[in-house]
Amino acid sequence: MSDASFAKRLLDNLSTAVLHVDDHLIVRYLNPAAEALLAASRTRAISNPVSEYLVEVGDTPISLTLRLALASLHPLTKREAHLRVGLQDIVVDYTVAPLMTPGEPVTLLIELQPMDRMLRIAREESQIANRQATRALIRGMAHEIKNPLGGIRGAAQLLAKAPAGSDPGEYTSIIIEEADRLRNLADRLLGPRALPRMRLVNIHECLERVRTLILAEADGQVQIKLDYDPSLPELKADPDQLIQALLNITGNALQALMENTCEQDTPTITLRTRPLRQFTIGSVRHRLVLRVDIIDNGPGIPEALLETIFYPMISGRANGTGLGLSIAQDIVHQYHGLIECESRPGHTQFSILLPMNLDRDMPTTP
pLDDT in the model for residue 108? 93
pLDDT in the model for residue 249? 93
pLDDT in the model for residue 86? 66
pLDDT in the model for residue 12? 82
Q: Is residue 249 part of a domain?
A: yes
| CATH number of the domain enclosing 335 | 3.30.565.10
User: What distance in Å separates the CA atoms of residue 273 and residue 292, rounded to the nearest whole number?
Assistant: 5
Domain final residue, candidates 114, 147, 177: 114
Report CA dihedral (163, 164, 167, 172) to the nearest 10 degrees.
Answer: 80
pLDDT in the model for residue 282? 79
pLDDT in the model for residue 351? 95
User: What distance in Å separates the CA atoms of residue 62 and residue 78, rounded to the nearest whole number?
Assistant: 10
| CATH number of the domain enclosing 56 | 3.30.450.20
The pLDDT tens digits along the chain (366 residues) read 566 677 778 888 888 889 999 999 999 999 998 888 888 888 888 898 888 888 877 766 788 888 888 989 899 888 888 887 766 788 888 899 999 888 889 999 999 888 876 667 766 766 666 666 666 666 666 666 776 777 788 878 877 777 776 777 777 887 888 888 777 767 666 666 667 788 999 999 999 999 999 988 888 889 999 999 999 999 999 998 899 899 989 998 998 888 875 556 789 999 999 999 988 887 788 899 999 999 999 888 888 777 778 776 556 555 555 677 888 888 898 899 999 999 998 899 999 999 987 444 444 444
User: What distance in Å separates the CA atoms of residue 168 and residue 349, rounded to the nearest whole number?
Assistant: 51
Residues 144 and 279 in one domain: no
User: Do β-strands 268-281 and 223-227 pair in parallel, antiparallel, or remain unpaired?
Assistant: parallel
Residues 204 and 351 in one domain: yes
* Per-residue CA distances from 148 to 94, 174, 180 (Å): 57, 9, 9
User: What distance in Å separates the CA atoms of residue 325 and residue 308, rounded to the nearest whole number?
Assistant: 10
Q: Residue 51 belongs to what domain range?
A: 3-114
Q: Residue 188 is inside which H or E element, if any?
A: helix 169-190
Cβ neighbour number for residue 63 with a 10 Å cutoff: 15
* Per-residue CA distances from 356 to 278, 288, 300 (Å): 11, 6, 30
User: What distance in Å separates the CA atoms of residue 358 and residue 211, rounded to the nearest whole number?
Assistant: 26
